Structure 1
């Protein structure tokens, strides 16, 4: 099998590409390198460009007519940035995705896996969600994912393409073989900020401590990125059994089923890190929400998948990646 991975030079897309290669699936990478890294596509068929570039998509399919499916990971993903630049986020995540699926249809591509997000949900009273939970996205970023899912479902209902949306919870970790990891030297998510605090000898800010959780800090379902990548492999191999002409679109949650608060993540970090960090409490950032975790077994039932790596594994692999990143990526002195 050969698959096109849009956004395949980014953190998740590149890990999916490695998991595919390990499983005997040949990845073809498409990435505009706005946040992706050329190094992550090394050794693979790679096209630099935009998902909205119809001529480029045509060329990819002309040169790889045996592509059987597409994994669509191309998106901007930073919640506070989406609050500050909603136009840019809707253009990149929604408008370009619409153009992309039109190009796929023109080239006869009938299978797409969409990287969606659990941030689209309204959390339940117990802070858990499943695939039937109400959609109530709280940030422009999350709304772009919800809009795309609805748009793709409408398209799949009448066009010759089936679309599986995988709703990620909170990815952590790195490829256990250290081929790829977070490309940003200073990522904005909690674990990235903890590593930065450890490296700088500074305090870690727990942003938001008045939520209705057991300790007041936000709660997340932290899932190892390699587990996410393995779920994509399972989805690719089982795709035709999951979607039918009668039900051409489907969503599946990808999480561990365990909620971890930010304060608990700090404790887990300090159990692994050589240099423990201290934390201070601050106000929530624009777009921050209390969070949620999955209670669904749909992924295990339909994909035969469940998360195998623990939070401690994810932290350990993230710390290991931080020590090798600058030797693997060319811009060791830059923040990108």
Structure 2
């Protein structure tokens, strides 16, 4: 077990809040650092401490590291909307790359030995083959992917020069919610397909846009590898344990299930779970969207004892739907 606390940046957001739950449930002590621009203070489990700060505020971050005895950082804070990154690239290089540089510098200055980074399959761009392996070419086709890849490169170089090791986890499409109903995706105007679909199923949206029907896929719509957020959070805990056990080693892993579903297949699954038909609105492609992203997850399965427990599209949809109903009950 780690000799100190884990700082979770962006721990009031979607994936970060689930990582907080997984860490707490595993017996870790946690301090959340979040500026609450897109996160919610009510999403932070009361067992964790909350520091309201931007990750680029060096003074506040370093004070929090010292005051809380932080020995590992899980870095989720950042901007995540691919189309927005195309229209506002500087926002993504500021929030994702420059801010991450500040955070890593603070970690090195304060002697934090372990760092886990929330990366993305967008670092691959349009892949040469599917499923994608970690050593395949990294050719991002949008600023979001580039901003994350730049941080990966920075971590590689920093780990070679300083006593810190890291694990970069490249997420494929994250969906679902905590099976116990403690957290879920709560962002207004979210762009994730399953979130949008369950909002449509509960009356928050009139329809679901299908962006692109002419991709070279089995039904013409984009194919993605969907991973349950609870499984992803568990992978972070397992990755942290590996870093502690092997302090001289760093790692990069894909986080996915190794199989993909098209947009229409996902919407069909939502129809089955809800016993209703969600209206689909066919639209043109969005900038920066590749046709197919599916993980080869052999590396993470070989390196970690982690195994997916909710690898079922309908289970992911059911948990997302249950959380949407909780939000409705709370008037959110």
> 5+ unaligned residues in a row in structure 2: which ranges?
none
Q: Does 2:51 align with 1:72?
A: no
- Name structure 1 gaps, 5 residues minimum: none
- CA pair 164-36 structure 1, distance change in 2 beyond 3 A: same
Q: Distance in 2 between matches of 1:14 and 1:300?
A: 24
Aligned positions of 1:209-220 closer than 5 A: 209-220=213-224
SS at match of 1:132: coil
Do 2:21 and 2:45's aligned partners in 1 also have CA atoms closer than 8 Å?
A: no
1:158 is aligned to 2:155: no
Moved over 3 A (4+): 122-126, 240-243
Whole-Å separation in 1 of the counterparts to 2:263 and 2:245: 38
Aligned residues: 326
Q: Note the aligned Cα RMSD (angstroms).
A: 1.6
**TM-score normalised per structure 1:** 0.93
Match of 1:128, SS state, is coil
Give the conservation status (yes or no) of the 8 Å contact 2:118–2:168.
yes
| 1:89-108 pair list within 5 angstroms | 89-108=92-111
SS across alignment from 2:292: coil
Q: TM-score, normalised by structure 2?
A: 0.94
Deviations 1:97-134 (A, max 9, x none): 10111111111101000000011114445532011111
Q: Take 1:17 and 1:102, find their aligned partners in 2: how far apart are those partners?
A: 23
Partner of 2:170, secondary structure, is: strand
Are residues 1:119 and 2:110 paired?
no
Instruction: Specify which of 235, 239, 246 is matched with residue 243 of structure 2.
Output: 239
Partner of 2:151: 148
Aligned counterparts of 1:123 and 1:251: Cα–Cα separation in 2: 19
In 1, the alpha carbon distance for the partners of 2:250 and 2:98 equals 20
Deviation string 1:228-287 (CA, Å, 9 cap, x unpaired) is 00101111122134552xxx4320011001111111111111110143213232101122
CA offset digits 1:314-334 (Å, max 9, x no partner): 100111001111445xx73xx
Using the alignment, how far apart are the partners of 1:125 and 1:238 within structure 2? 30
In the aligned structure 2, how far is the partner of 1:19 from the partner of 1:221? 22
Cα distance in 2 for partners of 1:132, 1:20 equals 29
